[in-house]
Every structure is written in structure tokens, then in C-alpha cells.
Amino acid sequence: MSSSPTTAVEETDVHTPEVVIITGMSGAGRTQVAKVLEDLDFFVIDNLPPTLLDKVVELAFGPGSSVQRMALVADIRGREFFGRLVDAIRDLRRTTGNVQVVYLEADDDELVQRFEESRRRHPAAEGNSGVLEGIRNERELMTEIRGLADLVIDTSDLNVHELRDRVVDALGKPNEAALHINVVSFGFKHGAPRDADLVMDVRFLPNPHWVDELRPYNGLDAPVRDYVLGQPATEPFIAAFRSLLDVVVPGYIDEGKRHLTIAIGCTGGRHRSVAISDAIGSYLSETSGVPVTVDHRDLGQE
């Protein structure tokens, strides 16, 4: 069956490779930027020799590969290979097209302080020369590379959160930086989810399992849902839980966290946790402004 013109365009857009070269001054934040891009679903390779740039990109975006976005960290640590980085970037731009260079820098005083705190030797320092001399050597070596940059970020006065915001604004897709919340119902007898950030135990509520006419149903069915949500303790509990989330969720967003898993458990993961998770998931969908999914992990397990 032939594809419509619209479908063909969409498929072309999806498979357009995107390459970001992260470079710049040692101590200016390259590692932090690489971590941010990993969170944005880039495939990241650190300390790649420039002579391998084109080969790695060709393999990464070759037939059968699922990689769509790649970030490559190349810097002075490449030693004798580093001198070929300018030519490698120019060649890659001719063959690949969508290549961006992000250059990280900071002022000398800030870089000296960072190296003193880390107690690391500067990679451009020669012989017994100190950190400042290494910084000056590196800055001179990086002059041409800086001229190729699409984005120059001075991190002198940026904390890690501000740096992350700059990178996300420049390289993220719309809504990509938003927190994603996953509300999971589960049964304690099957074990709590290991990846949960918050775990809430609702076994203090009366169990519908012991009500004969409710036992065949689960928390998605109206009889059980109404029973659970109608208990005297349920309303104040949900109100308190909502108040807690009203504080926690914005805090996670401010900290740049991209995934929040809220696990709500009862004995078997069939009745109480399912009804409460649905109620909390609905509330978060209406109020948080971020994507929310609800997963009933143990529903259907006996």
C-alpha cells in the first residue's frame, strides 16, 4: 500500500539524523551538558577521537539503527588527534548536514577555582606549569574550534540547573524537558516497584476483597471505586496526598527531574490501590501541567 505525501514527509523528518558536537574548555561543563543530552534521548559518546567522527556517525545512523540523535564529546583529551577536529567537523557538516557545535567556556578565575577544587591536573599543562598556564594554552588551541560553534555557553556564573535550562532551550524539542509522571498501583504481596520515587501504602482502608459482592470486581469498576472512595478515611487522605504532591511535583520540575514514579500499594494490587491511583492520576493530569500515565501493574494477577 502506497504512502500518502504527508506520511512520506513525516517519515523523512523522523529519520533525519541530528548530531551535536560538545567541545570547549576543560572544566567548563562538558560532562554536565553530556548528561543533559542523555536525558533528552541523545546517544552520547565521550572523548571520541576526531578521526572517528564520520565513521561513528555513519554506523549510528546506518540501516537498522534506532539512533536519531547523537552527541559527541571531543576535546583536548584527544591529544594528538585533537588537531584534526576542525577538519572533522567541516567534513561531517558536508556529509551529514544537521550538525551543531556547542562550545563551553568560562573565565580563567572560575576555571582555576574548579580545578583547584577537583585537584586534577589540567590536560593542557606542560611540564611543571600550573593550572592557569594550562588554561591559557588550551584557550589558544581552541580558538578555531570556538569560531565554528553554533552555540557558545559561558558557564562562569551558571549553576548546574541554569546550564541545563540553557541546553534544553537550545537543543530540546517542544515539551521535551517536561517532567513525566507515572502513577503505579501495585500489590505488596508482589513486591513494591524498585524504581518508585514515592511509595504510598493504602492498606489502612477497608478491603473490598472481604465484601462478597465486590470481590469479583476491581478498582476500575464503579462498585469498587465508589466503595473505596466513599470510605470516611479516603477523602482526608486524598486531600493530604494532593497537598503533598502540590509541593513535590513543582520541586522535581525545578530540579530538572524528567521522570517521577508514584507507587500506590494495597495487599494484592487489585482494589484499593487501583481506585486511589486512578483518582491521583486524574488530579495530576488536571493540575500538574505535565504528562501523566497510570499503570496498574498487578491488576489481573491472582
Residues forming CATH 3.40.50.300 domain(s) in the chain: 15-171
Its sign, for the CA torsion 115, 117, 121, 127, is: positive
Q: How far apart are the first and last CA of the chain?
A: 44
- Which of 5-14, 22-31, 178-187, 270-279 ranks highest by mean pLDDT? 270-279
pLDDT digits over 262-275, tens only? Answer: 999 999 999 999 99
Quote the CA–CA distance of 198 and 196 in Å, as a whole number. Answer: 6
Does position 4 have pLDDT exceeding 50, yes or no?
A: no
| CB 22, CB 37: distance < 8 Å | yes
Tell me which CATH homologous superfamily contains domain 15-171. P-loop containing nucleotide triphosphate hydrolases (3.40.50.300)
Task: Tell me the residue type at 288.
Answer: S
pLDDT digits over 144-191, tens only? Answer: 888 888 899 999 988 887 888 888 888 877 655 568 899 999 999 999
Q: So what's the pLDDT on residue 176?
A: 58
Return the beta strands (E) in the chain as ranges: 18-24, 43-45, 69-73, 99-105, 151-154, 180-187, 198-201, 259-266, 292-296
Task: Tell me the residue type at 133.
Answer: E
> What mean pLDDT value characterizes the chain?
84
